[in-house]
Structure 1
């Protein structure tokens, strides 16, 4: 009798990070979502063809960075983020956010689900990180769940041992201050899966060893 194998959802965290470990600068607010001085973390993405496609634009650079960004988009079936990330990004994303998947937003403030263009929905979860992840797994089907941020949200999932892979795009910049991804996370072991350098960033993939 033939047997079927059920794919286990991979939980990822895919983030741009500075050489000194920051994923945002200091002073993050809804009007300043990346924080002060954080432009180098994100400006390399803006002209990638795959990123522009997700913003409803044409053109852009078709290069290895764009291929890796498209790989993330194609593999991700649901996203989890914190309320701060949602609040700081909502105006920038507008009515056609780039996720094109269900997004579960961790919050202490209930809010009705928002349905946006392009397949993005924002569902606000007040029951904590495990509930949000369970809902994201169900929504993702056989694709990955990505813990998108911000730093506090990723740290919570790392401390709880719920992230399987870290995808870090290391930008050649030092912020000096800001939101440091691994602050307070504690000790752990990672297995390197990929290390690929381009002129714009070094793309690192690690599997979390349990």
Structure 2
């Protein structure tokens, strides 16, 4: 069976995946952009942005691993956009413009139905209203033997971790303090859930940690 993986999910030293005061113009919250200073210069990110250059090395290796053998994605609704409650219309089409970086099927968790949305580059957003396990089942079917990547946000990741559905998780801990915001591991006991550290690489802009679920 294909695995459910999380990659390049950046948090602060005090455990926040986004800073306080998030809004449409500042989706990562106050200070949140500093979480990704390790990722933005990499060749993987620059290529996603339509550029050819970018850094190589260990940060790039971790960034690139997140796209290896991925056949489908799962996102929480907040990762898709800032709209809350019932969809007022179909005008919001994501943060990424008409050619999102996913280039495949993406299953968005929501409580409010919406028709699938086909974008440029092969990305198709499907809106799932019947829970995390249904989204994972649909994503695995669409992935056709390849793995599924869980993109976040924090609340969605906590749901999948608490259900012991995540097989592998790469987090990048940035050497910054945000003080408040979205706490990734709030009220969680990862060892009890069966997760252990299987990789640890400290670098200047982030410490890369891989958690794996014991079978």
Is the Cα contact below 8 Å between 1:55 and 1:96 reproduced in 2?
no
Matching of residue 109 in structure 1 with residue 112 in structure 2: yes
- Equivalent position of 1:175 in the other structure: 178
Q: How far 1:80 moved relative to its partner? A: 0.7
Give the 5 Å matches for 1:33-182: 33-88=27-82, 91-182=94-185
SS at match of 2:135: helix
Cα separation, 2, equivalents of 1:191 and 1:183: 17
Q: Distance in 2 between matches of 1:74 and 1:190?
A: 22
Q: Is 1:10 paired with 2:13? A: no
Pick aligned residue for 2:199 from 176, 194, 200: 194
Q: What SS does the aligned partner of 1:185 have? A: coil
Displacement after TM superposition at 1:90 (Å): 5.2
Distance 1:68 1:43 in 2: 14
Q: In the alignment, is the contact (CA less than 8 A) between 2:197 and 2:211 conserved in 1?
A: yes
Please give the TM-score of this superposition, normalised by the length of structure 2.
0.87
Q: Is the 8 A contact 2:162 2:193 kept in 1?
A: no
Alignment correspondent of 1:5? none
Distance in 1, matches of 2:93 and 2:15, equals 25
Structure-2 separation of matches of 1:146 and 1:26? 26
Which consecutive residues of structure 2, in runs of 5 or more, have no partner in the other structure? 83-91
1:91 Cα shift? 4.8
User: 1:114, CA displacement in angstroms?
Assistant: 1.1
Within the alignment, does 1:205 sit opposite 2:210 as a pair?
A: yes
**Backbone CA RMSD of aligned residues:** 1.8
Cα shift at 1:179 = 0.5
Tell me, in whole angstroms, the C-alpha distance in 2 between the residues paired with 1:34 and 1:57: 23
Q: Note if contact 2:37-2:205 (Cα within 8 Å) is conserved in structure 1.
A: no
Q: Quick check: 43-52 or 187-196, which moved more?
A: 187-196
Gaps of 5+ in 1: 1-7
Count of matched residue positions in the alignment of Structure 1 and Structure 2: 203
